[in-house]
Amino acid sequence: MTATANYVAVDLGAASGRVMAGRWDGRRFAMEELHRFPNGGVQVGEHLYWNVLGIWSQIQIGLSQYRGRFPESPLGIGVDAWGVDFGLLDRFGRLLANPSHYRDRRTTGVPEKVFARVPEQRILAETGAHTMQINTLFQLYSMVEANDPLLAAGERLMMIPDLFTYFLSGDKIIEYTEATTTQMFSPARHDWARAMLDELGIPTRILPQPTRPGTVLSPVQGQLLKECGLQHSFPVIAVASHDTSSAVAAIPNMSEDSVFLSSGTWSLMGVELREPDTSERVLQLGFTNEGGADGSFLLLKNMTGLWIVQECVRQWKTEGSDYSWAALTARAGAVRAFQCLIDPDAEEFQAPCDMPAAIRRYCLDSNQPVPETVGEIARCAFESLSLKYRSVLDSLESVTGREFRTIRIVGGGCMNQLICQMIADACCRQVVSGPVEAGALGNVLLQAIARGQLADVHSGRSAIGESVQCSTFDPHPCSGWDEAYARFRRLEADGSNRAAAKTTAG
């Protein structure tokens, strides 16, 4: 089909959200930003929540902006967002409470309590998902343990993107790629790990059978159309609603010798497989299996990403200095390399805090020079992230038996040329950056497939390759990276030893 068609993509990240218009002319995609807005957790007392009604109001603004720019209604709208978090609806379809943020402390110590009832190895083998304290499994078990009345009153669990899909359409679904982020879904059974959940007291009645990407749902509800000034109805489409799955679907030239790196608040590095890999080696190394847009599986590692720098920027702003990313990059580029390093996944950096102070304490405790200036702290973070990617790349090559020549970066981090070059140098691999708005592009791609305008993800990637301009970074030889990597690996090992000792003591 060659007729030009418009789609709306709602692409929600943990730090910002955007509503994008995607235009497909039969050969290429063109993306136009309708509305962008900041996002983040809201602290109330000791707990951290998502302001989902605030996000919803921003989505409505984006739809109103669409009406102001295009005379015709779109052919569809889809929502993608982060994983693991959820809201609960009562039997009347009302949201029971503000959804908790994955960084809320309610899951502290919960994994160990779960494993006392169901062994971790059984959970890993059943779900193929790496244990992270933030996972939906542990959030729900924290509610079981607390006898939380919300869980008793809940009739339907809605993952975050599915909650907004419900606000748009009235359909109560859980989309498949989101389901695979929960550590509650069994890829082998193509269903929830119901026996395990029953043993933990987690009610499976709130979990519908997951909906596949590309499913056309109900039309946008009439009242919303009226409020946003849209004349004609159009369907909501279940896309690959986990933003990583949407982003990977939009990467052109993915091949057997390529790894993807989604760089944002979180960093996710991995490869595409036709079947999940739940081998003991894979799970020991901390990899997880998440659903792909086209029925594939993404074998990937979740890492702390630009969150550390975002938190530094937030802290500096409270102290009266508001640094742009360009300013941070310039300051980082002007200081001496490899002065100090951190492990971005260390426990010290996971919760909201005075991040510059946390970095200084970590360096002091690990007998390294303590970074003092903004440039030194930013450089420490950028170099440490680059070395983390090298560590994960080594592990990926080990478990897959492949040799990877290219790292394909998407997301906000791919706009930063200093970081892209650091990654190329640290990993000694060619880096290809782009598309920046991969999540929104993948969202639109899945909608176009659902409406019959594209055959499959492969053809969509080819079209995206003709639609966007990517940048290439070749590695520069520098022996300093090898020495820094040896230091970084020691920091990782020390962190693993501390975590093991803490678990044993517990």
CA distances from 48 to 146, 151, 156, 178 (A): 17, 18, 22, 21
Look up residue 304 and give its two tokens.
């702390």
Look up residue 74 and give its two tokens.
């779109």
For residues 29 and 467, the answer to whether their CB atoms sit within 8 Å is yes
DSSP state, 349?
G
Helix (H) or strand (E) holding 266: strand 266-273
- Please confirm, yes or no, whether 243 is among the known catalytic residues: yes
C-alpha span between 289 and 126 (Å, rounded)? 11
β-pair type (288-291, 266-273): unpaired
C-alpha span between 233 and 218 (Å, rounded)? 10
Which of 11, 80, 104, 243 does the annotation list as catalytic? Answer: 243
Torsion of CA 267, 80, 212, 163, to 10 degrees: 120
CA distances from 245 to 248, 249, 290, 437 (A): 5, 6, 8, 13
Look up residue 457 and give its two tokens.
């993800």
Residue 265: partners with Cβ closer than 8 Å, 6 or more residues away: 13, 14, 15, 305, 306, 307, 310
C-alpha span between 229 and 209 (Å, rounded)? 34
For residues 290 and 244, the answer to whether their CB atoms sit within 8 Å is yes
330-345: b (≥16 Cβ within 10 Å) or e: ebbbebeebbbbbbbb
C-alpha span between 503 and 113 (Å, rounded)? 12
C-alpha span between 467 and 483 (Å, rounded)? 40
Enumerate the active-site residues. Answer: 243
